Amino acid sequence: GYVNMLDRWGKDDPAVREEAIAAIKNESEHMKVLIDQLLFLARGEMDRHVLDMKPLNSCSIMEEIYDESIMLEAELPEEKRHEFDASELYADDNLKTFMISADEAMIKQAVRILRDNAMKYTPAGGQIHVQVEAWEMYLKIDIADTGIGIPEQHQGTIFKRFYREDAVHDVEGIGIGLYLAREIISLQGGYIRVASEVGKGSVFSVFLLRK
């Protein structure tokens, strides 16, 4: 639709051109994410996932994702932004040398899915808190928000493929993000837990084995 509008009127109207280009860019980015997710599903069904496991500094990954999150927020109109809190990113300084064995690209993808969900389901002005800590033989990554929360009866089903709670159908998505995040973490010997309360927010915790 926007391509047709651009073709008909956008050549001579800067306002139409700017609106159409922004919309096309936005939808193209959404389509790329969707295609990547569907390809991941297809590879999984054919058992063709190839992991590039190597020693990683867990904190450098989280710092990168935090910096990226701040940049994403800066691109939003001011009235739609959230408050990202990483003031206590590390539970203690020893975590700066905490190593995990993982596929870096996949771990980043899983954490980004959880981060993006927190942004989608947290009203503007709400807070998103990120923290990393050691938990027994695991690295624990918490992504907490002050969003709409998840009813208790749905917390066991949100990781199913294409599952979407009726109350959030007005939020963009097709219901495979959390499934992908869980699969990615599971492939690398970890797991995800969720704690949530309606109206107060959610905490998604990722557990990755220490190297």
pLDDT (0 to 100) of residue 202 = 96
Q: pLDDT truncated to tens, each residue of the chain (211 aa)? A: 888 888 888 778 888 888 888 888 878 877 887 777 777 777 766 666 677 888 888 777 888 888 888 888 888 888 889 998 877 777 677 777 778 888 888 888 899 899 999 998 999 999 999 888 888 888 899 999 999 999 988 888 888 877 666 555 455 655 788 988 998 899 888 999 999 999 999 999 999 988 7
Q: What is the DSSP string of the chain?
A: -HHHHIIIIITT-HHHHHHHHHHHHHHHHHHHHHHHHHHHHHHHHTT-----EEEEEHHHHHHHHHHHHHHHHHHS-GGG--EEE-TT-BSSGGGGG-EEEEEHHHHHHHHHHHHHHHHHTS-TT-EEEEEEEEETTEEEEEEEE-SS---GGGTTTTTSTT---GGGTTSS--S-HHHHHHHHHHHTT-EEEEEEETTTEEEEEEEEEB-
Query: Buried b vs exposed e over 30-46: b needs ≥16 C-beta within 10 Å?
Result: eeeeeeebeebeeeeee
Please give the pLDDT value at position 21: 87
For the entire predicted model, the pTM comes to: 0.76
